[in-house]
Structure formats: C-alpha cells, structure tokens
Amino acid sequence: MTTFTPLRAGESPTISVLPSHQLSKINDNIYGGFTEHMGRCIYGGIYDPDNSNKNIIDENGFRKDVIESMKELNVPVVRYPGGNFVATYHWQDGVGPRENRPRRPELAWLGIESNQFGTDEFMKWCEIVETEPYLALNFGTGTLDEGWLEYCNSTQDTYYANLRRQNGREKPYNVKYWALGNECWGPWQVEQMTKEDYAKKAYQWAKALKLLDPSITLILCGETGHSSWDYHVLKECVKLDMHSLGGSTTQSLIDMHSIHIYTASDDPVKNALAPRSAERAIQICASLIDLARIENKVPPTAPQQTICFDEWNVWDPKRAPGETGAEERYTLSDALAVAVWLNVFVRQSKYVGMANIAQSINVISPLMTTKNGLVKQTTWWPLLLFSNYMRGWTIGTHLNCSTYEGDAEPAWMKTSVDTPYLDVSATVNDGWVSMVVVNVNLAESFKIEINGITEKTKLVHRYVITGSSWDVVNTEDKQSVGIQELTWDGRGKCEFPKLSITMLRWSI
Ligand code: AHR
C-alpha cells in the first residue's frame, strides 16, 4: 500500500519505504497472461505452422520465440480460449485428428475458426512454457453437460476422460482455474444475460462443477468491480452451499470474482494516470465481496474470495478494433500506464489473486510477431521489470509530492482518486527492496529524497525506461524504448526524469 500527502509550501518531496512493514503477500499470478482465438493471437502468434521460416517454429508448429519470451516473463498462468470468443466455442470441435475438425463461423470477431489449435495443443504449449492453464467456460451457446472439465481432469472410466485418453493423453491435465463465462453482461455477447439470469446459472453450474471436481478454483463473471452487476452476482453466489461442498464450512463454492477494465486517453498524462481508477475498482469490489459474505452470513472458516483481474491493459477499441485484430501500437505514455497498472496490483495485493494482461501475443499485446521475429513494444519493458522483481511482499510506502490538477479519465476519478505526478509501489523479496516510481509529468523531472535507504546500502540498482517524447513507439527497425541499467550510491536525492519509469533495487 502507498499512502500519499500532497506537497505543501516549503516542503520538499519525499518517498519513504519501510521494508519491515510487510503488508500483504503478492500472488505471483498477478503476472498472468491471456490468449484468445482472436486476430493473430493464436494463429500466427502461438501457432504458426505455415510460416516458411522453419527455424522459428518447433515440431508442434509453435513459435519458439514466443515460448522463449513467455519464459523470460515467467508467466505463471495463462487464460484461454477467450474472451468474447468463448461464448460460441465448443471445445469438442478442437480435439482429435486435425483433419476431422470442423471449420466454424466465429461470431465474436466475425472470422472463421479452423479449430486446428484446441485444448490438447494449448495444454502442450502451457507445459512447454511452464505455465498453468486457466480455462473459460462457454456461457453463451454452451451447456453444462459438454464435459470439458471431465475431459481435462477426470481419472475415471467415463466418456470424456476416455476421449482424452483416445486423443493421446492418459494423465489428467488437472486444470485448476475455471471461469464461469466471460463478460456475460456485455451487449456484444452472444447470449447476453441479465444479472439475475447469470447469477442463477452460474450458481447451478458452480455446484455441478464442484461436485465433479472439488479441487478446482471457480471464477465468477463480474464486470468492472464497481457495478450493480458485481453487487448482485456476488450477493447471489457468494454463499455456502452445504450440498455441493459435502457439508464443509471450510470451502467456498465461488473462489474468485473476475473483473475487466481497459484504460486509454488521447491525452498522454490522463492516459498514464487512468489505471489508478482500477485501484478504486479493486477497493470497491473487495468491499462488495465483504458485503456479500456479511449479508449471507458466510462463516470466517470459508476462504475469502479474491479478485481475478483477468483482462487489463491500455486499449482504445476505436483506434484498434477487435474485428481487425486489435493490434495496438503502444507509445511511451502507454508504457507508463502499464507500469501504473502493475503498481496498482502490487499496492492492492491483499485483494488481487490473479491478473491477466489482455493479451499475451499480437492482440493488444506488448509482444508482436513478424514473419521472422518479434517486436517488443514499449509496454513489454515495464512488464518484464515487474515480473522479474516485483514479487514477494508489498511494503508500507509513503509518497509526498505535487499533484496533477487537470481532468482525469475516467472523469469520476477526479473526486475520488489522488493523482500525484509520481506513482509508487514497493516490495521486499529475498532480502531485496524493489521500488517502482513512474513520473507521468511531461515536462518536469523530480529530485526526491528517499527515506528507507540506510547508511549500510552502498549500491542501488537503477533501471530506467524513458524516451524522447510521449508518443515514441518501438518498431521492427528501431527499438526506441528499452531499459537502461544504471547504478546509484543511495546518497542524496534521486532524480526521476520526466515521462519515465524507474525501478530502484537495493539489498537489506
Ligand atoms: O481482450 C479482448 C476482448 O475484450 C475480450 O475478448 C473480451 O472479453 C473483452 O471485451
């Protein structure tokens, strides 16, 4: 958590960190990914068997460079197969001999789905990447008896478990994370639902799924975390079901609540600060979870539900429409926004059980494939820094600096969220303090006193991400934004350049 006081006349700005104040454990799953059958995410991203450059693909048709990048990011969990795509997806179309798999009209993004990549391919890819699969169920045209959970996890002598064996996989995949639909509230959704209809259906599906496999983690479909949909579905579904839980008061039927937010603004400062609205959304949603538990008298023995922020990023669908692949070209301002997003998850680690950048490859992604290689967009670099270092525990931090006074995006932020020019979070892990400071000011650098670096510290590692202007981008020919590795002796003030992300790391 980072507290904030605005700079008053005569004060000089400070950041104070207290490494011994370990506030909450950061779940590694906040560095999760998301791959959807959309644009070039699966076909041409993960799976590229027709690429004439055979050096770039493995024997499965998977892009080797994408696999390496996922490993470099140490992605712990990947959501699949959508997104909006899942509302008309029947998993059975994507298993078994490839030549028998049907081509289907795809209604979310108005394409054709060849089904050449499906469940078994995704599981294999996850094993190679050393990440955990997270599957979303079809709440649009799907039915409860379609048997995907049985196919993936069952060890019994039953139809879908045997189908998996027949398709070459004896051992169960033991998929832990299952989402009860995706954005079922959205007007763009095939089989859009009212909150009442969704809550009823989700609760019944949850019961049946946990009867089949009580070890799974079930994720309820929320909206933004601050809507009446969130309130209603939590109220109706976060309760103890003594039947499906075998009389247990130490388990919860619903384990997590999913929320989605995309931020964007044409104004670079508003754009970089917009993810702070997601911080408020997390706080409100955490309160709604508490409220449902209080109103439904859920005993404290039942595990607390956490937030699964399973789609987040900078995205303006008018600029990069989903139907044409949503290939956003990210600027330095967007990289700052991504760093603020990640600071939010670190600060709110008490409530966030998982977060998934939408998406991992090509579609609104930090990573773009070309025929022969990859472009690491501006947003790749903060993600890499965070995933490598911002793990462990969130520590107590206080910031005193000047405030951005202009309008905010979304507008409601203006009255309920602080907007200091610097955005800060700090962690402690394995004897190292890591602190990220994002300076969203377009014109001004700040020299800041850091309280918490002791006399004992001789060396502070300083990683800086910045660029010549807010709208600079990385291309195939030129990587304008990357990480500069510097050092500092920890004495005096530290300078945070205008439009920059700085990570400071020192051992304690
Ligand atoms: O990530 C792109 C799309 O955004 C997803 O399919 C959907 O869930 C959201 O609206």
Within this chain, do residues 497 and 369 fall inside the same structural domain, yes or no?
Answer: no
Within this chain, do residues 444 and 383 fall inside the same structural domain, yes or no?
Answer: no
If pLDDT is split at 50, 70 and 90, which confidence band does 312 have?
A: very high
pLDDT of residue 433: 97
**In this structure, which amino acid lies at residue 422?**
L
Q: Is the pLDDT of residue 243 over 80?
A: no
Residues facing 401 on adjacent strands: 6
Pairing of strands 306-314, 256-263: parallel
Sign of CA dihedral 335, 80, 67, 393: positive
Within this chain, do residues 496 and 382 fall inside the same structural domain, yes or no?
Answer: no
If pLDDT is split at 50, 70 and 90, which confidence band does 248 have?
A: confident
Of 284 and 241, the one with more pLDDT: 284
Report whether 182 contacts 216 (CB < 8 A): no
Q: Is 84 in the pocket of ligand 1 (CB under 6 A)?
A: yes
Tokens of 411: 């507008």
Give me the chain's average pLDDT, please: 97
Q: Is 311 in the pocket of ligand 1 (CB under 6 A)?
A: yes
Q: Is the pLDDT of residue 242 over 80?
A: no
If pLDDT is split at 50, 70 and 90, which confidence band does 145 have?
A: very high
Ligand 1 closest atom vs CA 82: 6
If pLDDT is split at 50, 70 and 90, which confidence band does 450 have?
A: very high
If pLDDT is split at 50, 70 and 90, which confidence band does 273 have?
A: very high
Q: Is the pLDDT of residue 240 over 80?
A: yes
> Residues 475-492: what's their mean pLDDT?
96
Last residue of a domain, one of 347, 368, 390: 390
Within this chain, do residues 135 and 241 fall inside the same structural domain, yes or no?
Answer: yes
> Residues 178-204: what's their mean pLDDT?
97
Give per-residue pLDDT as tens, 81-140.
999 999 999 999 999 999 999 999 999 999 999 999 999 999 999 999 999 999 999 999
Closest-CA residue, ligand 1 atom 1, reads 358
Within this chain, do residues 301 and 353 fall inside the same structural domain, yes or no?
Answer: yes
Within this chain, do residues 9 and 94 fall inside the same structural domain, yes or no?
Answer: no
SS3 state of residue 47: strand
Last residue of a domain, one of 370, 390, 410: 390
pLDDT of residue 281: 98
Closest CA to 390 of 442, 355, 440, 439: 355
Closest-CA residue, ligand 1 atom 8, reads 83
Domain total of the chain: 2
**In this structure, which amino acid lies at residue 365?**
S
What does residue 498 show for φ and ψ, rounded to 5 degrees?
A: -55, 150
SS3 state of residue 367: strand
Within this chain, do residues 110 and 146 fall inside the same structural domain, yes or no?
Answer: yes
Closest-CA residue, ligand 1 atom 6, reads 83
> Around Cβ 476, how many Cβ atoms within 10 Å?
11
If pLDDT is split at 50, 70 and 90, which confidence band does 318 have?
A: very high
424 half-sphere exposure, CB direction, 13 A CA radius: 25
Within this chain, do residues 263 and 299 fall inside the same structural domain, yes or no?
Answer: yes
In total, the chain counts a number of residues equal to 508
Share of the chain above pLDDT 90, in %: 96
Ligand 1 closest atom vs CA 359: 1
Ligand 1 centre from 229 Cα, in Å? 18
If pLDDT is split at 50, 70 and 90, which confidence band does 241 have?
A: confident
Within this chain, do residues 68 and 115 fall inside the same structural domain, yes or no?
Answer: yes
> Residues 20-49: what's their mean pLDDT?
98
Within this chain, do residues 111 and 197 fall inside the same structural domain, yes or no?
Answer: yes
Tokens of 27: 């779940």
Give the per-residue SS3 of 75-87.
Answer: CCEEEECCCHHHH
CATH number of the domain at 123, please.
3.20.20.80
CA atoms of 108 and 117, how far apart (whole Å): 17
> Around Cβ 451, how many Cβ atoms within 10 Å?
12
CA atoms of 137 and 79, how far apart (whole Å): 11
pLDDT of residue 29: 98
CA atoms of 348 and 271, how far apart (whole Å): 20
pLDDT of residue 357: 98
Looking at the annotation, which residues are catalytic? 183, 311
Within this chain, do residues 104 and 197 fall inside the same structural domain, yes or no?
Answer: yes
pLDDT of residue 232: 98
Q: How far lies 312's CA from each of 94, 262, 342, 364, 400, in Å?
A: 27, 5, 10, 10, 28
Tokens of 125: 């890819």
Q: Is 183 in the pocket of ligand 1 (CB under 6 A)?
A: yes
pLDDT of residue 49: 97
CATH number of the domain at 426, please.
2.60.40.1180
- Residue 349's domain comprises 27-390
Within this chain, do residues 239 and 151 fall inside the same structural domain, yes or no?
Answer: yes
> Residues 477-505: what's their mean pLDDT?
97
> Residues 433-452: what's their mean pLDDT?
97
Ligand 1 closest atom vs CA 84: 6
Last residue of a domain, one of 331, 364, 390: 390
